Amino acid sequence: MLLSRRAFAAVPTLLLIPCLLAGAGFIGLSWTGIQDAARPEVTPSPTPRFEVVVLGRAQDGGLPHLGCERSCCVNARKSGRLETPACLGVRDLETDRLLLLEATPRIEHQVGLLHEIAGASGRPRRPVDGILLTHAHIGHYAGLIQLGREVASTKATPVWATSRFCEYLRTNGPWSQLVELEQIALNEITPGTTDGETEPTSFEPLPGLRVDAFTVPHRDEFSDTVAYKLYGPSKTVLFCPDVDRWDAHEGLLEKLLEGVDVAYVDATFYDGRELPGRNILEVPHPPMIRTMELLEAMGRETPGRVRFIHLNHTNPALNDLDLQDEIRGRGFPVAEVGERVGI
Ligand SMILES: [Zn+2]
Ligand SMILES: [Zn+2]
Ligand SMILES: [Zn+2]
């Protein structure tokens, strides 16, 4: 790789995207890292049919964050650094179909990156073949508005969400107009519960890609909240960008990680230092230090299996490369935009 990670961080992300895409270097490095993390398997996995790509890793407001005058965002504004909200893309390697997990306010940027990686073009009215939504907080669904008549005017792009979330979209503008004009087609999912009482009803947002949703505790003002497990023929990926504290819900973390090869989990806050005056024990997210403590052995035995996503702009793990190295050394990398997992 030509750029050191430190130099890499200093260069505006927008300028780097062509390098990211052109250079087998960066993506190849990340790819290798994940492959290494899964190496303990004795029997070789079947060939991956899908590729999961990280398209964004910040909390809902991204970085720079509106109104933030701290060094995290002042420096980002100066350097042109951009971190977009947590988002995964999935590419079917056989059919080139594309799926998004979340429709973030930076959907154009993120779909652009997915198209670059997939070599996709000629699809103005169907930029992706489907969208899975976790919950109705702005960083996770507000990008749907770009599918409307003012922008892409898509034709019945399938969207998967819980019944409560679908009802919210159907009955509240401007989302209801997307439904009425058939720019999106809603599909209601039936999540399972992490206490094992209710099994999820599996669905296939892309042919051959089985997905289960699990209800997770979170601030549920307009919708409930889910985490997704994506089952490819080769590997299983968990996406859980927003969740309440692990300690308040016995068995939650274990159930979510069950059978999962690579997990992208909520890393909104590091240890509370980013919230002066607030007690971290009262913050309704699992601090990264607690997740690493609970999974210490897993970090040692299968490094890279749990990867952090949805970092707040103030989170030192988003901005301090020495801290990122330390966390990675414990087996818990911060997700990198552009990294891929074959599943
Ligand atoms: Zn969020
Ligand atoms: Zn900031
Ligand atoms: Zn949320």
Average pLDDT over residues 211-232: 97
| C-alpha 286 to ligand 2 mean position (Å) | 20
41, pLDDT greater than 50: yes
Q: Which residues surround ligand 3, an ion (CB under 5 A)?
A: 137, 242
11, pLDDT greater than 80: no
* Residues 288-300: tens digit of each pLDDT: 999 999 999 999 9
CA-CA distances (angstroms) from residue 325 to 32, 200, 340? Answer: 17, 37, 19
Total domains in the chain come to 1
| pLDDT value, residue 277 | 80
Q: Which residue has 């909200």 as its token pair?
A: 85
Ligand located closest to 266 CA: 1
Q: Are 166 and 223 in contact (CB under 8 A)?
A: no
The string of DSSP codes covering 196-256 is SSS--B-EEEETTEEEEEEE--S--SSS--EEEEEE-SS-EEEEE-S---GGGSTTHHHHH
Give 147 or 280, the one with higher predicted confidence.
147
Could you give phi then psi for residue 150, rounded to 5 degrees? -75, -20
Query: Could you tell me how many residues make up the chain?
Result: 343
| C-alpha 285 to ligand 1 mean position (Å) | 10
Radius of gyration from C-alpha coordinates of the chain: 19
Average pLDDT over residues 304-327: 97
| C-alpha 195 to ligand 3 mean position (Å) | 21
| C-alpha 230 to ligand 1 mean position (Å) | 20
Range with lowest mean pLDDT among 22-31, 132-141, 261-270? 22-31
Instruction: Report the distance separating Cα 134 and Cα 167, nearest Å.
Output: 14
User: Identity (one letter) of the amino acid at 303?
Assistant: P
Could you give phi then psi for residue 337, rounded to 5 degrees? -60, 130
Ligand located closest to 62 CA: 2
Average pLDDT over residues 270-278: 85
| C-alpha 64 to ligand 2 mean position (Å) | 6
Question: Would you say the C-alpha torsion 108, 111, 117, 122 has a positive or negative sign?
Answer: negative
Q: Which residue has 């492959």 as its token pair?
A: 35
68, pLDDT greater than 80: yes
Provide the whole-model pTM: 0.89
- Structural domain that includes position 168: 5-342
Q: CATH number of the domain at 27, please.
A: 3.60.15.10
Ligand located closest to 56 CA: 1
| C-alpha 43 to ligand 1 mean position (Å) | 37
Could you give phi then psi for residue 185, rounded to 5 degrees? -120, 115
Q: Are 289 and 249 in contact (CB under 8 A)?
A: no
Ligand located closest to 319 CA: 2
Ligand located closest to 68 CA: 2
The three-class DSSP label of residue 65 is: coil
| pLDDT value, residue 184 | 98
| pLDDT value, residue 44 | 66
| C-alpha 323 to ligand 1 mean position (Å) | 22
